[in-house]
A and B are shown apart, each in its own frame.
Chain A
Amino acid sequence: MTVLEVMERLNIKEETLAIAWIKDAIHLIQSNTKEKVESTKRDLIKSVNSTDNVYILPADLVSLENISIKDTSDSKYKKIRRLTTQPHYLAEDASP
């Protein structure tokens, strides 16, 4: 379905507004269903303190499906579990 068809069904003439609403609707759809799932990979780095183990979520993320880590013993990505509370940082306490 084209943007023009949507505009005609709505009887509106503002193309920019129609495109903006369509983008909003797609965002809502992605937020409620799994219409299009993407994946991205990052290098894991050896961490020595609480700033090294921090990875930024993708900026275009709408909803998170799962997080996996590569098991180098069999080269497969395996889903890991989420902690509900953040562990304490002994390293930061020892070197304020």
Chain B
Amino acid sequence: MSSYVDKEWFYYLRGREILLYKMQGGSSGQRITQSGVFQSYDKELMYPNEDIADGLRIEYTRVSEPFVAEALETTTAYASGASFIFQDTSTAFFTGSSDIDFSSSGNRIITFDDTSKYFYAGQSIVISGTSSNNGTFTVATVASSTQITTTQSLSDESNTSAVFKSSTGAILGGTAGTNTFTDFLASDKIRVRGSSSNDADYTISSISSNGDALIVSSVPSALESAGERISITQIPLEDDTPDATSHINLNKMLCLAIIDYCKAMLAEKNGEIDKKEYFMKEFYSKLGDNDSNKRNISVTFPAGPFAVK
């Protein structure tokens, strides 16, 4: 077990490599002898002597997603609530036991529980466990809290058991017909946080007609009922093949800085070094402005935390 790692572990940078060491402690047989460097600790170093899954965490800046499909200033869609439901394609989201009626009149499925929160108009569902209504159906309407209709024909069947699965991965708002996801659009990329087992980034394939469900391209890893407070935040969608219509993944101030940089490069290309110097100065000035814009409020904080979860 590793403990006091902030005091006993060290790294050394060698070119493109990180070399890890830890204090020798009581393991004298594995020590790396040295003198002078760690006199104040009165101990010596050794190589790490244990396996730790995901034990090394490197925090760094990188050029990631330089171009995105939508301007950063408009990437603002957000929803939060404790009623969100996740549906995968392999687990039944609703099961009835001798208490479901199928009616050919109006293609209705009638349940005796409040099931409306599990369904949305346009939902593709797979029904099994019935005598004559197994198959894939599309929900036409969520007519009431205990009744849905389908676009396909149904056969009359009463007091039957049935298993309902979703054909697609989806995130439901939890109240049928309520436009919970009004801010979101198809193709938006979203980040889910706060769920029990479905925290991840998703891309929205489509949104239900009532705005009460997000159909996502990658299926959630598990069925999840309402309960956890979950936030869904839009994040920039990378443009892998940038062209003239691509947006720069920076705020307006930094985009203006980029223009100064490009002007500097243009001046250099034309042999106008004085202009290049001027625009580079403008570039760094805007970088400074952008940083200082975030620091207009005085803050007081305790000593920097060493630990992050």
- Contact residues of A with B, CB < 8 Å? 1-4, 6-7, 9-10, 12, 15, 18-19, 21-50, 52-58, 60-83, 85-91
- Contact residues of B with A, CB < 8 Å? 1-6, 9-14, 16-21, 31-34, 37, 45, 47-64, 66-67, 71, 242-250, 252, 254-255, 257-259, 261-263, 265-266, 283-284, 287, 290-291, 306-309
Shortest B252–chain A CB gap in Å is 7
A-B contact count (CB 8 A): 279
Cα of A33 to Cα of B63 in the assembled complex, Å: 12
Most buried by A among B12, B61, B246: B61
Additional 16 contacts, C-beta under 8 A, given A30-B61, A42-B54, A64-B60:
A1-B248, A4-B245, A26-B248, A27-B63, A31-B61, A33-B290, A34-B61, A57-B60, A58-B60, A64-B59, A67-B18, A69-B55, A72-B1, A72-B3, A78-B306, A88-B34
Cα of A76 to Cα of B244 in the assembled complex, Å: 44
Q: Name the CB-closest residue of A to B247.
A: A2
Cα of A71 to Cα of B3 in the assembled complex, Å: 5
Does B66 contact A38, Cβ atoms closer than 8 Å? no
Whether A69 contacts B244 in the complex (CB less than 8 A), given A46-B50, A54-B18, A77-B308, comes out as: no
Does A29 contact B257, Cβ atoms closer than 8 Å? yes
Does A43 contact B247, Cβ atoms closer than 8 Å? no
Most buried by B among A58, A68, A90: A68
Q: Name the CB-closest residue of A to B261.
A: A25
CB contacts (< 8 Å) of A91 on chain B: these are 32
A–B pairs, 8, beta carbons within 8 Å:
A10-B266, A15-B244, A28-B261, A29-B258, A35-B61, A70-B56, A71-B307, A77-B57
Shortest A95–chain B CB gap in Å is 14
Does A89 contact B32, Cβ atoms closer than 8 Å? yes
Does B259 contact A6, Cβ atoms closer than 8 Å? yes
Does A44 contact B47, Cβ atoms closer than 8 Å? no
Does B60 contact A2, Cβ atoms closer than 8 Å? no
Cα of A23 to Cα of B265 in the assembled complex, Å: 12
Does B4 contact A71, Cβ atoms closer than 8 Å? yes
- Contact partner of B63 (CB less than 8 A), chosen from A26, A40, A41, A75, is A26
Most buried by A among B47, B66, B265: B47
Whether A21 contacts B244 in the complex (CB less than 8 A), given A62-B63, A85-B37, comes out as: no
Whether A22 contacts B262 in the complex (CB less than 8 A), given A3-B248, A67-B58, A87-B34, comes out as: yes
Cα of A40 to Cα of B244 in the assembled complex, Å: 32
Q: Name the CB-closest residue of B to A27.
A: B63
Cα of A10 to Cα of B258 in the assembled complex, Å: 11
Shortest A71–chain B CB gap in Å is 5
Cα of A68 to Cα of B92 in the assembled complex, Å: 41
Does A56 contact B51, Cβ atoms closer than 8 Å? no
Whether A87 contacts B258 in the complex (CB less than 8 A), given A27-B63, A82-B13, comes out as: no
CB contacts (< 8 Å) of B259 on chain A: these are 6, 9-10
Does B246 contact A3, Cβ atoms closer than 8 Å? yes
Does B47 contact A50, Cβ atoms closer than 8 Å? yes
- Contact partner of A43 (CB less than 8 A), chosen from B10, B47, B55, is B55
CB contacts (< 8 Å) of A28 on chain B: these are 261, 283
